[in-house]
Amino acid sequence: MLKDRIITAIIAGLILLLVLFAVPQIAARVVILLLLLLAAWEWSGFLKANNVVRYAYLLAVAAVIVPAFFLADSLDSRVLVFQVALVWWLLALLWTWFYPTPVPSIVTWLCGLLVIVPAYVALDWLFLQGPWLLLFMLGIVLAADIGAYFSGKAFGKVKLASQISPGKTWEGAIGGLVTVALVVAVESYFLGFSYITIIPLCLAVAIGSIIGDLTVSIFKRQAGLKDSGTLFPGHGGFLDRADSIAAAAPLFALGLSWFGPGVLRLPQ
Asked whether residue 263 carries a pLDDT value surpassing 70, the answer given is no
Asked whether residue 233 carries a pLDDT value surpassing 80, the answer given is no
Average pLDDT, the chain: 90
**Got the DSSP string for 87-117?**
HHHHHHHHHHHH-S----HHHHHHHHHHHHH
Residue range of the domain that includes 39 = 2-263
- At a CB cut-off of 8 Å and minimum separation 6, what does 267 contact? 130, 132
**3 state SS of 204:** helix
d(CA 175, CA 1): 22
The answer as to whether 114 is a domain residue is: yes
- Our count of domains for the chain comes to 1
φ/ψ of residue 14, rounded to 5: -65, -40
| Neighbour tally for 90: CB within 10 Å | 12
Where does the pLDDT of residue 157 fall: very low under 50, low under 70, confident under 90, or very high at 90 and above? very high
d(CA 68, CA 254): 17
Asked whether residue 180 carries a pLDDT value surpassing 60, the answer given is yes
> What does the pLDDT look like over 7-31, one tens digit per residue?
777 888 899 999 999 999 999 999 9
List C-alpha distances in Å: 28 to 18, 130, 206, 229, 250.
9, 12, 25, 23, 19
Asked whether residue 127 carries a pLDDT value surpassing 60, the answer given is yes
Asked whether residue 5 carries a pLDDT value surpassing 70, the answer given is no
Where does the pLDDT of residue 108 fall: very low under 50, low under 70, confident under 90, or very high at 90 and above? very high
The answer as to whether 228 is a domain residue is: yes
| Beta partners for residue 236, in sequence order | 232
- At a CB cut-off of 8 Å and minimum separation 6, what does 128 contact? 25, 29, 73
What is the pLDDT averaged over residues 151-158?
Answer: 94
The answer as to whether 124 is a domain residue is: yes
**pLDDT for 29:** 95
| Beta partners for residue 159, in sequence order | 169
- At a CB cut-off of 8 Å and minimum separation 6, what does 4 contact? 233, 234
256 alpha carbon, distance to own chain's centre: 16
Of all residues in the chain, the percent with pLDDT exceeding 90 is 71
The answer as to whether 225 is a domain residue is: yes
**pLDDT for 75:** 75
Asked whether residue 2 carries a pLDDT value surpassing 70, the answer given is no
> What does the pLDDT look like over 187-216, one tens digit per residue?
888 878 888 889 999 999 999 999 999 999
**pLDDT for 4:** 64
Asked whether residue 266 carries a pLDDT value surpassing 70, the answer given is no
**3 state SS of 71:** coil
Per-residue exposure over 53-62, b if at least 16 CB sit within 10 Å of its own CB, e if not: ebeebbeebe
**pLDDT for 83:** 96
The answer as to whether 268 is a domain residue is: no
**pLDDT for 267:** 54
The answer as to whether 184 is a domain residue is: yes
The answer as to whether 112 is a domain residue is: yes
> What does the pLDDT look like over 77-90, one tens digit per residue?
899 999 999 999 99
**pLDDT for 241:** 85
Asked whether residue 1 carries a pLDDT value surpassing 60, the answer given is no
- At a CB cut-off of 8 Å and minimum separation 6, what does 211 contact? 89, 92, 93, 96, 247
